[in-house]
Structure 1
């Protein structure tokens, strides 16, 4: 193999090798008994506490003002600014349309 080929395609080769290592790790964890199976426990109160803690942390961090300036308006950037929410809305609309299409396709 030519050395210049490896240099030109090093990012692709790195991505392939990382993917291969991850798949090998997943296979090793799933198909061997090296890691024991854990017993699962469920605590509704702990779940609700952590859930509300995350909501509170998200709410507090959403009011943080960054010191960067928006390239569009020149104002300080908020955590969930208009451009982020518009992009997120587009992704959510796309996922809902794909879900509805799949549901209609499966139901005939």
Structure 2
């Protein structure tokens, strides 16, 4: 599957979280698998100046952007197959469809506001 250049994946975790530490190598391998896609790892405490007041309660949490809009913000199982399915789902959308999806509900519109720390990468 070809992944559009406008898709990016950010993992929001914490170094103190053993699940995050265990997931990080798998996330890195996903980034290698989708080499033309921006994959970024943010520690919500060490990178607090970047993620700001975004409140993450469950780890790992993925933020997936498509066409400059957040299309997914939520916890994932610490299994790369789960993240891969999400990536492939949002990659399959046309850019316009992704924008409509990202702004279709109040919750998703709120994601655009609270995830204002710029494109991953």
TM-score by length of 2: 0.21
Greater fraction strand: 2
Q: Which structure carries more relative contact order (alpha carbon 8 Å, separation 6+)?
A: 2
Q: Which has the larger radius of gyration?
A: 1
